[in-house]
Amino acid sequence: MTTTILPPIDERLGVALRIGSTLAFAAMVACIKAVGDATPLGQIVFFRSAFALIPLCVFLWWTGDFPRGIATKRPFGHIARCLMGAAAMFTSFATIRLLPVAEATMLSYLAPVVLALLGWGLLGERLTRRRAGGVALGFLGVLAFCGPAFAGILPPGALLGVGLGLLTAFLTAGALIQVRRLTQVGEKAGAIAFWFAVVSAVAGLATLPLGWALPDMQVFALLVGAGIAGGVAHILMTLSFRYAEASALAPFEYLSVLWAVLMGVVLFAEIPGWSFVIAAPLILAGAVVARPQRRVVI
């Protein structure tokens, strides 16, 4: 019988790592937004995934999980997870193009709300009153955000962006359901992250015949930066859960919205509207209420 020894609790270190991961994620979003519409989505997905492998492989080697830790006995399970995750990456990046970064980031927090529904429907998990309330709050936030678009106050692209944001939440939740299934049968987090990056890079590369843009040095640097920042964000998040309880880290996870608002104002001159001000508290509250609070060891 193997005994797993958990790292000692160090909440300050865990919180610092979690804040660092939200900053790295914000940097990734900023790079993707700054690339603009001239670069095809598939090209962005390729760079984001391929260059994320660099810090990820270094991290796995440092922890002694490379290359042995990326072996898997469930290749088809990984394929299902990776395809949903890669599709979510495409729709997420399209959402970032169509919406201000604050709104696009806010909609990503619908994933825990959708996960509660899918966990109940697909895995037979209990949908308690608390989690049902979180689901209701999340979708009330969506209605509040969509109201101006339906009324014709916002441009048509905003409504499409919200639709893609919702699709991203469902795809992300589906991918997370598959991650749960993989971890339940003994698959390691390192293998799950590695093969997701590989399959997403291949999915992005498959769009090459559709036509890629030849990037100049600035765009190339932004594409590489998106990949490195995305890989670092995942690593820092993983490490944070090794040193602190999920309940202690949860409040800092929502700093991503604050960074997105600041980044949108400073870098892209995007001022959040009233729909964001009304919808954001509802969606974030729904994510907090719907998300299970337990320690995660990766």
pLDDT tens readout for residues 20-46: 999 999 999 999 999 988 899 999 999
Q: How many H helices and E strands in the chain?
A: 12, 0
The encoded tokens of residue 257 equal 């919205």
pLDDT tens readout for residues 12-23: 898 899 899 999
What is the rounded average pLDDT for all residues in the chain? 84
The answer to whether residue 199 scores a pLDDT higher than 90 is yes
- Does a structural domain hold residue 139? yes
- Does a structural domain hold residue 238? yes
The answer to whether residue 106 scores a pLDDT higher than 50 is yes
pLDDT value at residue 186: 79
Q: Which pLDDT band, with edges at 50, 70 and 90, does 232 fall under?
A: very high
Distance, in Å, from the CA atom of 246 to the CA atom of 241, rounded to the nearest integer, reads 7
Distance, in Å, from the CA atom of 294 to the CA atom of 174, rounded to the nearest integer, reads 20
pLDDT value at residue 7: 54
106 in Cβ contact with 284 (< 8 Å): yes
pLDDT value at residue 156: 62
251 preceded by a cis bond (ω within 30 of 0): no
- Does a structural domain hold residue 298? no
Over range 261-272, report the average pLDDT: 90
Distance, in Å, from the CA atom of 142 to the CA atom of 292, rounded to the nearest integer, reads 21
Residue 129, class by beta-carbon neighbours within 10 Å (0-12 exposed, 13-18 middle, 19+ buried)? exposed
Q: Which pLDDT band, with edges at 50, 70 and 90, does 122 fall under?
A: confident
Q: Which domain holds residue 255?
A: 18-65+72-290
Q: Which pLDDT band, with edges at 50, 70 and 90, does 185 fall under?
A: confident
Distance, in Å, from the CA atom of 115 to the CA atom of 117, rounded to the nearest integer, reads 5
Terminal C-alpha separation, the chain: 20
- Does a structural domain hold residue 39? yes
pLDDT tens readout for residues 55-76: 999 998 988 888 887 888 888 8
The encoded tokens of residue 150 equal 């339906």
- Does a structural domain hold residue 244? yes
The answer to whether residue 1 scores a pLDDT higher than 60 is no
Q: How many domains does the chain have?
A: 1
pLDDT value at residue 66: 83
Nearest to 190 by CA among 250, 246, 231, 249: 231
- Does a structural domain hold residue 104? yes
pLDDT value at residue 43: 97
- Does a structural domain hold residue 149? yes
Length of the chain, please? 298
Q: pLDDT over 90 for what percent of the chain?
A: 35
Distance, in Å, from the CA atom of 220 to the CA atom of 200, rounded to the nearest integer, reads 19
Over range 186-199, report the average pLDDT: 87
pLDDT tens readout for residues 159-180: 788 889 889 988 988 888 888 8
pLDDT value at residue 225: 96
pLDDT value at residue 107: 85
Distance, in Å, from the CA atom of 95 to the CA atom of 25, rounded to the nearest integer, reads 15
pLDDT value at residue 296: 41
Nearest to 72 by CA among 178, 195, 199: 195
Over range 81-105, report the average pLDDT: 92
This prediction has a pTM of 0.85
- Does a structural domain hold residue 3? no
